[in-house]
Structure 1
Amino acid sequence: MERYGVDLVSDGTLLDALRTALDTGRAPEDLMPFTAEPEEDWTEELAAIEHPELRAHLGHFCTEGDLGLMPASEDSTVHGLRHEGCETVAGWEDGHGQIEITVIRLSDHVAGPPR
């Protein structure tokens, strides 16, 4: 996967892919103490998350991209894997073009046979 620019992998589940991409860890004490304020459009959506630390953590990924990350456009890159049948599930980027995080659903061809 290195030839496609893939740095992080998960255990194959969507939940673990999102956990890895959003750096949530597996327990509340694993959360990074992000402080970036979410974009106003995301405030109501994030309010549905009861756990205040998780809400603050995820707010870092719902900013305008200056201090945190912002959701990437739907046409974000699949790192050359689109022609292999892979698709973007979700993505985030900063407003400076320095960071891009993309959760990609691999095709059976790329993922290989189940173990």
Structure 2
Amino acid sequence: MAGDVYANVSGGGLRLKGAKIEKKKKKKLHKDKLPTESTTSSHNDTKVDSTTTENGKSIITEVDNKTDAERKFEEVQRKRLEKILEKKASKSHREEVEEYNKYLSGLTDHNDMPKIGPG
């Protein structure tokens, strides 16, 4: 029944008077061409080299292809993280809670809700 309702509808886009109709040409894909290694390796930022030791085991090492600014940024970020971790590790949880409670007791009470009603 649903097919009967749309039986008289023509398909395609709208056609305007005086407008030229340009059809898009489809690009042909060649099945013979495969992506080369140069195009796939350009997407990777780091390259992996493998070397073999005297035991015969292969060791995989990363070659760093970062700019000086990227290395400096990562170094600064690492130092900041170390400072944060040192600050966290310097106090125990109990000391932090006691310090926070002392801070809260020193605040004024103007934000507290007043008691309304009997009791």
Q: TM-score normalised by the shorter chain: which range applies?
A: under 0.3
- TM-score normalised to structure 1 length: 0.21
Higher Cα Rg, which structure? 2
Higher RCO (CA < 8 A, seq sep 6+): 1
- TM-score normalised to structure 2 length: 0.20
